[in-house]
Structure 1
Amino acid sequence: MSQETHCVLLESNEFAAAVADKVCNSREPSLIWAYAGEGHVAIGADVYALSQGDAIWVPAGLEYDIRSSPNSVLIPIFPAARRAHVALAVPTRTHFTADWNDWLVYQFARSIGYLRGAAAAQGLAGIVVGSPGSTPGGTPVPAPSVPLPPRPSSPEASRVALRLMQDPADSASVAALASGVSVSARTLQAQFSSETGFSISEWRTQVRIAAAATYIDIGHDIGWTAQQVGYATPAGFTKAFLRRTGVTPSSFAQRRGQRVDLSETGIDLALPDAVGETHADADRRRVPPVVPSSKTWDRVSDFHVLVWVYRGSARVEIAGELFNLREGDAAWLPAGLSNSVSLPAGSILLPLGSQGVNYRADAPDVLVQRFSDDAGLCLMHTMVANYSRLRPAVHDPHAITRAFAQQSAVTGVSAGARTSSKAAHVRALAAELHRAPADRRGLSEWADRFEIEPAQLASAIISITGMGFSRWQSQIRMTMARRRLEEGLSVAQVAQALGYAHASGFSRVFTRRHGLSPRAYQRGGWQQTAEPLIVP
């Protein structure tokens, strides 16, 4: 079903300039892209003016400042993969035509970390290098000259392949790789052999050498490259590289080292053709990738979130109630209630803002409302300001959620069970379960705590959340488990925090609910930047 009302949540489409000072990404590069209007990025003594469609790639380790003009939106984006196969060692200007907008906005959405699963294999670095307007400062970056091996097609083998491509240094055993996708080592080996013509070991070596060739292409030294792709010594790396390419790494670097100074040519750099690739293939590769279908994990959060369908459509489930959203709709995902989102290919859902838990306050009467058609630019500005450090000097992060709730109160109808006296007990119990997820009290004990009959509490939980107590509690625990795994805690630490006697028991429950183990989830079940530019 769909419950919605048309609303005008924004008093004005005018908005102030945004600023981010002294940003320095220690681990990841970033792409500062002018979505609309204009601004500039200052890196040391160099100032890069950006107009709509322009972007500047900033390598990790460089401090920079961002300024957007009034009524303009600049978006800081991080790479889609934790370790891109193409690296850019210098600030690199490029320009994207409007048909790239959706893909770039999707990249920002991925960096926030709310979408399920690993990011697409084609990262931002490769796209920047491949864009016709790419002009690296000083020297162009050649395309990879050593091709990647063919990808396997089986779901399990494909997931393992993606893992190894995103992190060539991954040294997990075949047994560990197989366990991560819930198949036997023998099955995984058979899938790779029949679908790629290589054993897993051979396939991994090919990926490592292809990645190494790219690193050498852009000027990294051999010792550094060897470590990045998983070799303990330069000698071992040299032997593997020679066997795969027929030349040593040093000879390869000399052969590929002829570069053109763009200041002398006065032209923009187009991506050179890869080995064996026709010009038609290269042209197709420059077409924007399709935004893939995506979804979130089922979750019960301890904070409210307001989300907006930027492009396409979305299927949102809140406490068992289905809402079919179309482009321009916004949905309130209340704290304490189970929710999930499914997005078809080409669709993008963006968070507009969040609000801390206040279980004494009722949820909005209307959970879905529609923004006016001309509000898009202001909403993008709000989204960037709330989920990055690029924001106006005076900024209220809760203005958008407060406006949504106020408008709901004006246009809404009775919320029924959500605002009944039953809801007070459910909100209080949700707060307790989030505060102490290891608490092992059962429904009867919680009913005693709230001085009501167990049957009354059970009925209230079902009417408010759409599910029974055990399932609801499990979703809260799994939501908190994912959050702690994303923070880098070990499986044993997460198990202890959630009240499991043994890590193995927690791992079984997590794997059954997610289709992958806790360790596999940490490696590829989610994607979020490690840099502090994005702030929840």
Structure 2
Amino acid sequence: MSTHPTPVLQAIPSAPTRTAIRPGAPALIWISAGSAEATLDSSRWSLDAGQALWVPAGTGAVVRGADGCCVVPIRIREEDHQAGPRAPFVAAVAPHAESALLAAFTRSLGVLHSGGVRAADVLGWIGHPTAAITAPAMPSSPDLRRIAGALLADPTRSPATVGADHGVGASVLARRFRAETGWTPLRWRTRHVLGRAAEELRRGRRVALVAAEHGYGSPQAFARAFHREWGVAPSELAEQARGTVEARRGGAELGPQRNGYHIVIWVAVGSVQLNLDDRTALVRAGDIACLPAGTSCGFQAGADAAVIPLGWLPGGIDVGAGLIAHTDAHAPLLRLAAWAYADAEPITGGDPRIVLQTLLRLGEPNSIPMPIVDATYALLARLAEQPQDSRSAAELATQLGMPPAQLRNAVEALTGTTLATWRARTRMSWARRLLREGLHASQVAARVGYADAAAFSRAFRRAHGYSPRGFSKAQAQSAGT
């Protein structure tokens, strides 16, 4: 492995930042350094280093960090889009929980092999281990409230049957229930029953008794349903509430994957094994490492490690593989990662990729003039946001006012691969994201630029070794464990 000179930490801006959190699933805003002001709807919150703000489901937020502030947004997985407390609160982050939140930040970015970040786990790390387990709210309209009451009164009856008794068709019932509660009628009833069961377990009632009173045939069936919904076993609930059981934390895994660009990672805590083609390398806390373009690469990290992605670099730059730098600085690198991946942007603007290159004392590929470099990066940025764009390389080159050969050479120098390969990988990245969100293969095919679902399925299988349906099934199983 090669070692580069000491990173130029001054390249990372310490200017005030602005971070926008769109309404949706809950989020945790952790201030790991400095101070910040957060605006949630009509409320304002002042935050200092070591504090975290819980942003409830469906609430938008704007966080403004002061000079030197490091804002770390941790977004909860979509499956928990209605989980957790319904009001914001501020908690102190204990030192022993910081490494867990660092690892959760990376998982929340969607770059690892995982089911995302559970609300229950995050709340546990900040001292609210069971706050995520709550019964969903009743519908707001009177007629739906009556139907909801009937659903709870007899859990053996289907929502369609109950809706028909009240003159509401199944599709209308499902649509209105989702609009008013965020859930389908069946899922709402399940969460409501298990939420009430959780309250009883907190009061010390036995699992078998609670299971029987809530319509489950056996404690085992109740435990499976409870764990699937809340991510914690019923028997653990009382212990978690007393703080005797820590929220679970698994190791991180990435790859193997082959990219047309270099991926730069930073080991914030612990140690990580890199897998680079047919060799392995160990990197430790403080190390900055490269997963090089064109290489089958990935890593495995233990439960005590936190690996933070810092960004990507053009495949045409000679970076090296494995360990490329070491630094004991923490806040600047975390600021860079939050900027590159979580939209915690300095108000002074800039490009995190250029900052990363400057940090590592790297320049652009020398063979490409800077105007061509800028135009090519702009084109790739547009294609990355519009994967359905199917224009040929010649058409794209004409739009940029350059010969096709010049565009081809620039793409290969900057990404380390051809435009066709780069586009295919970008489309597959989009495809994985959309499949995780629950879209059908035919919908994903149209969104990412394939003629039909069959063509998309063939491309997906070539890239991943299994079908889109197999991928969706594996994600559902991961989310339920």
TM over 0.5: yes
Task: Extract unaligned runs of 5+ from structure 2.
Answer: 137-154, 157-175, 198-209, 216-232, 365-379, 393-404, 406-415
Residue of structure 1 in register with 2:264 after alignment: 306
Q: 1:117 to 1:515 in 2, by over 3 A?
A: farther
Residue of structure 1 in register with 2:119 after alignment: 124
Residue of structure 2 in register with 1:387 after alignment: 341
Residue of structure 1 in register with 2:246 after alignment: 287
Q: Distance in 2 between matches of 1:9 and 1:276?
A: 49
1:65 to 55, 62, 87: 62
SS at match of 1:481: helix
Q: 1:43 to 1:399 in 2, by over 3 A?
A: same
Q: Distance in 1 between matches of 2:187 and 2:114?
A: 33
Q: Distance in 2 between matches of 1:73 and 1:497?
A: 40
Residue 102 of structure 1: how far off its partner (Å): 1.0
Question: Over aligned residue pairs, what C-alpha RMSD do you find?
Answer: 5.1
Answer whether contact 1:352 1:400 (CA < 8 A) is retained: no
Does residue 484 in structure 1 map to residue 431 in structure 2? yes
SS at match of 1:74: strand
Q: Distance in 2 between matches of 1:99 and 1:497?
A: 47
Q: Distance in 2 between matches of 1:344 and 1:233?
A: 34
SS at match of 1:363: coil
Does residue 49 in structure 1 map to residue 46 in structure 2? yes
Aligned 1:66-105 pairs, distance under 5 A: 66-80=63-77, 82-83=79-80, 86-105=83-102
Task: Extract unaligned runs of 5+ from structure 1.
Answer: 135-139, 147-200, 203-221, 249-273, 410-430, 440-449, 451-463, 466-472, 528-536
Say which is worse superposed, 54-63 or 80-89, in terms of deviation.
80-89
Q: Distance in 2 between matches of 1:307 and 1:498?
A: 36
Q: Count matched residues.
A: 364
Q: 1:64 to 1:333 in 2, by over 3 A?
A: same
Residue 232 of structure 1: how far off its partner (Å): 5.3
Residue 32 of structure 1: how far off its partner (Å): 0.9
Answer whether contact 1:305 1:351 (CA < 8 A) is retained: yes
Say which is worse superposed, 484-493 or 236-245, in terms of deviation.
236-245
Q: Distance in 1 between matches of 2:131 and 2:272?
A: 39
Answer whether contact 1:294 1:345 (CA < 8 A) is retained: yes
Does residue 7 in structure 1 map to residue 5 in structure 2? yes
Q: 1:387 to 1:326 in 2, by over 3 A?
A: same
Per-residue displacement from partner, 1:327-360 (whole Å, max 9, x unpaired)? Answer: 22212233333322222221221111223x4x6x
SS at match of 1:386: helix
1:517 to 444, 449, 470: 470
Q: Distance in 2 between matches of 1:131 and 1:246?
A: 32
Residue of structure 2 in register with 1:172 after alignment: none
Q: Relative contact order (C-alpha < 8 Å, sep 6+): which is higher?
A: 1
Per-residue displacement from partner, 1:165-187 (whole Å, max 9, x unpaired)? Answer: xxxxxxxxxxxxxxxxxxxxxxx
Please report the TM-score for the alignment, with normalisation by the length of structure 2. Answer: 0.59
SS at match of 1:298: strand
Residue 5 of structure 1: how far off its partner (Å): 1.9
Residue of structure 2 in register with 1:36 after alignment: 33
Please report the TM-score for the alignment, with normalisation by the length of structure 1. Answer: 0.54
Does residue 109 in structure 1 map to residue 73 in structure 2? no
Say which is worse superposed, 478-487 or 490-499, in terms of deviation.
490-499
Q: Distance in 1 between matches of 2:7 and 2:290?
A: 13
Residue 404 of structure 1: how far off its partner (Å): 5.3
Q: Distance in 2 between matches of 1:340 and 1:279?
A: 39
Per-residue displacement from partner, 1:434-470 (whole Å, max 9, x unpaired)? Answer: 9999x9xxxxxxxxxx9xxxxxxxxxxxxx99xxxxx
Per-residue displacement from partner, 1:103-143 (whole Å, max 9, x unpaired)? Answer: 111111011111013236xx235643785479xxxxx9695
Residue 25 of structure 1: how far off its partner (Å): 1.8
Per-residue displacement from partner, 1:203-255 (whole Å, max 9, x unpaired)? Answer: xxxxxxxxxxxxxxxxxxx956997564359999999999967479xxxxxxx
> Which amino acid is 2:282 matched to?
N
SS at match of 2:79: coil
Residue 101 of structure 1: how far off its partner (Å): 0.5
Residue 389 of structure 1: how far off its partner (Å): 2.1
Residue 383 of structure 1: how far off its partner (Å): 1.1
Of all paired residues, the percent bearing the same amino acid is 17
